[in-house]
């Protein structure tokens, strides 16, 4: 690109002046205005935008909570209750933040499922997918440390158990744990550093989200057919079509969110976290937040300490390899009748693990967890690599436009089997 002022198409003189020197308006117009987007998105494609909104809600509420929170073991619990009782709208901001974490995981889990079902991780979107997995790992770390901050019983014992995971590693394990704690138990130094990191990590997430979106805008979006757009007839400008469609999704999402916040704010939490932390007494039945339950079940399914820890970390890390484990040339599960069944089973196993994670570690939950864990990994390591070779898939539609609009509009020959039967997009 030549040095010199940018040639701007913006009419408004002030915006034009800025745009010539820093073409942010041109960029916005290109990436969110005219950006060519497949015309056949279904509502699953809302969830990226929802996750973005959710992240912004978490950061905004978090900043205002931090104005009133005290990261000290003697004051943390009471300072949170002071937010609930005395700070103007403090209860609202805290409950939005607290339930926002749950909403964030709901949204992101659906977003991930969308990727799994429609093969969004496949070439050329491998890096896009891996950045997404990185965001998810950062989210998990952030959520975990945030849950420690109110310094209730679950905060304390959650922190103790999760940091102790690292003690499973031979030789260095105990040193790592001591380092994480900044002492010989979870205590004030731990709380302080968790607060610092809990404030930092969301901004790291923002950075990785930026890369995630940048990568998305290089490859363009996948779509429910998994067939790349072949020309302008297959795409529509992002604005107004998807801005308004995202708006509809956002309002529905906000209604679910609002119902949780205003009518059952503690439903997804655990009552024990309203008991101040007590280092001398573990609650009878400790469980992580619901979004961590599947991994907790995997951890407990393995009778060996190190094995359990490795398998638990491996359950997420295996996602990084997914683009290469899935050998099928067909992206969308719409056209993979066998793989689709296995994926639905995998989702079922995920929920089974979530259920078992909430149950005490006794039979039959342990054996069920073991089977579910085995299938969880088998799906990635055996089923997907093998199916790519074995599965017979129907012929893919020729183009998105033909599949969406049918022959009447597009003219030409008969539709391929499997795609013509119904339009992909309801609205």
Partner 1 sequence: MADTANAATGTKRDFLTLSATAFAAVGVGAIVWPFIHSMNPSRDVLALASTEVDLAPITAGMAVTVMWRGKPVFVRHRTPEEVTAARAVPMTDLKDPARDETRVQRPQWLVMVGVCTHLGCVPLGQKPTDQKGEYNGWFCPCHGSHYDTSGRIRKGPAPANLEVPTYTFMTDSKIRVG
Partner 2 sequence: MKRYLKAFAVLAGLTAVAVPVAVYAAGEYDKPRDARFGFASLLGTFDRSSAQRGLQVYQEVCAACHGLRLLSFRNLLEIGLTEEQARAIAANVQVTDGPNDEGQMFERPGRLSDRFRRPFANEQAARAANNGAYPPDLSVMVKARKNGANYIYSLLTGYRDPPPGVTVGDGMNYNPYFAGRQIAMANVLNDDQLEFADGTRATADQMARDVVTFLAWASEPETEQRRRMGIRVLIFLAVGGVLAYMVKRKIWADLKTKPA
Q: Binding to partner 2 by residue 308, rule CB under 8 A?
A: yes
Report d(CA 191, CA 331) in Å as an integer: 45
**Residue in 24, 27, 20 with CA at minimum distance from that of residue 6:** 20
Q: Which does 371 bind (CB under 5 to 8 A by kind): partner 1, partner 2, none?
A: none
Name 41's Cβ contacts closer than 8 Å, sequence gap at least 6: 221, 223, 224, 242, 245, 425
> Binds 361, which of partner 1, partner 2, none (CB < 5 to 8 A, cut-off by type)?
partner 2
User: Is 122 a residue that touches partner 2 (CB under 8 A)?
Assistant: no
* CB 422 to partner 2: min, Å: 14
- Asked whether position 189 contacts partner 2 by CB under 8 A, the answer is no
Given partner 1, partner 2, none, residue 214, with its beta carbon under 5 to 8 Å by kind, binds none
398 counts as binding partner 2 under rule CB under 8 A: no
Strands 36-38 and 235-237: antiparallel
Q: What is the largest CA-CA distance in the chain?
A: 76
Please indicate whether residue 198 is annotated as part of the active site.
no
Q: 122, 246, 332, 399: which is the annotated catalytic residue? A: 246
For partner 2, which residue of 74, 374, 409, 417 counts as binding (CB under 8 A)? 409
Partner from partner 1, partner 2, none contacting 157, C-beta within 5 to 8 A by type:
partner 2
Nearer to partner 1, 66 or 176 (CB): 66
Nearest in space to 129 (alpha carbons), one of 111, 107, 110: 111
84 binds partner 2 (CB under 8 A): yes
| CA atoms of 262 and 260, how far apart (whole Å) | 6
119 φψ region: left (φ > 0), alpha (ψ -120 to 50), beta (else): left
Q: Write down the catalytic residue from 289, 315, 332, 334.
A: 289
| Between 16 and 82, CB nearer to partner 1 | 82
Distances (CA, A) of 264 to 1, 50, 100, 105: 55, 21, 13, 17
Question: Where do the H-state alpha helices sit in 125-277?
Answer: 126-148, 153-164, 173-181, 188-219, 238-263
Nearest to 113 by CA among 215, 170, 21, 45: 45
Is 245 an annotated catalytic residue? yes
Across 54-92, b (16+ Cβ under 10 Å) vs e yields bbebbbebbebbeeebbbebeebbebbeebeeebeebee
Q: How far is the CB of 174 from partner 2 (least distance, A)?
A: 8
Q: What are phi and psi of 10, to 5 degrees?
A: -70, 140
Which positions from 143 to 172 touch partner 2 by CB under 8 A, shown as an x/- string? --------------x--xx-xxx-x-----
Is 221 among the catalytic positions? yes
Q: Are 114 and 44 in contact (CB under 8 A)?
A: yes
252 in contact with partner 2 (CB under 8 A):
yes
Cis ω on the peptide bond leading into residue 413 (within 30° of 0)?
A: no
Which of partner 2, partner 1, none does 22 bind, CB closer than 5 to 8 A by kind?
none
Nearer to partner 1, 243 or 395 (CB): 243
Return residues touching partner 1 (CB under 8 A).
60, 64, 67-68, 82, 85-90, 92-93, 240-241, 247
Region near partner 2 per CB under 8 A, out of 17-25, 88-96, 205-213, 335-343: 88-96
Active site positions, annotated = 217, 221, 245-246, 289
Catalog residues that contact partner 2 under the rule CB under 8 A. Answer: 39, 78, 81, 84-85, 91-92, 95, 157, 160-161, 163-165, 167, 184-186, 232-233, 235-236, 240-241, 244-245, 247-248, 251-252, 254-255, 258-259, 261-263, 265-266, 271-272, 274-275, 279-280, 282, 284-286, 299-300, 305, 308, 360-362, 401, 405, 409-410, 427
């Amino acid at each position: 690109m030549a040095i010199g002022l940018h040639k701007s198409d913006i009419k408004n003189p002030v915006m034009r002046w800025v745009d010539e020197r820093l073409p942010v308006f041109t960029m916005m117009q290109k990436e969110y205005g005219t950006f060519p987007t497949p015309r056949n998105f279904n509502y699953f494609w809302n969830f990226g935008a929802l996750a973005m909104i959710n992240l912004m809600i978490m950061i905004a509420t978090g900043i205002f909570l931090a104005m009133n929170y005290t990261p000290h073991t003697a004051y943390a619990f009471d300072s949170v209750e002071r937010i609930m009782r005395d700070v103007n709208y403090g209860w609202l901001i805290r409950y939005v933040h607290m339930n926002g974490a749950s909403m964030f995981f709901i949204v992101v889990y659906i977003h991930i499922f969308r990727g799994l079902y429609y093969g969004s991780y496949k070439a050329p979107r491998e890096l896009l997918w891996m950045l997404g997995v990185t965001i998810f790992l950062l989210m998990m770390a952030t959520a975990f440390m945030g849950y420690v901050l109110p310094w209730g019983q679950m905060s304390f014992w959650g922190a103790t158990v999760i940091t102790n995971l690292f003690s499973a590693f031979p030789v260095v394990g105990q040193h790592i744990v001591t380092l994480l704690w900044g002492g010989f138990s979870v205590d004030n130094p731990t709380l302080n550093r968790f607060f610092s990191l809990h404030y930092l990590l969301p901004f790291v997430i923002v950075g990785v989200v930026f890369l995630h979106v940048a990568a998305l805008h290089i490859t363009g979006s996948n779509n429910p057919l998994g067939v790349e757009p072949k020309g302008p007839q297959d795409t529509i400008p992002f604005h107004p079509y998807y801005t308004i469609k995202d708006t509809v999704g956002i309002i529905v999402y906000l209604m679910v969110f609002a119902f949780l916040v205003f009518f059952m704010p503690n439903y997804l939490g655990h009552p024990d976290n309203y008991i101040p932390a007590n280092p001398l007494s573990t609650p009878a039945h400790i469980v992580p937040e619901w979004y961590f339950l599947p991994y907790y079940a995997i951890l407990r399914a393995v009778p060996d300490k190190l094995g359990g820890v490795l398998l638990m970390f491996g359950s997420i890390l295996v996602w990084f390899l997914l683009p290469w484990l899935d050998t099928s040339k067909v992206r969308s599960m719409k056209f993979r009748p066998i793989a689709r069944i296995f994926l639905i089973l995998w989702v079922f196993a995920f929920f089974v693990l979530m259920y078992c994670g909430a149950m005490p570690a006794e039979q039959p939950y342990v054996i069920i967890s073991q089977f579910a864990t085995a299938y969880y990994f088998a799906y990635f390591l055996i089923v997907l690599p093998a199916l790519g070779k074995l599965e017979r898939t129907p012929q893919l539609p020729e183009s998105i436009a033909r599949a969406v609009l049918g022959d009447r509009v597009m003219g030409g020959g008969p539709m391929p089997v499997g795609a013509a039967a119904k339009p992909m997009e309801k609205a």
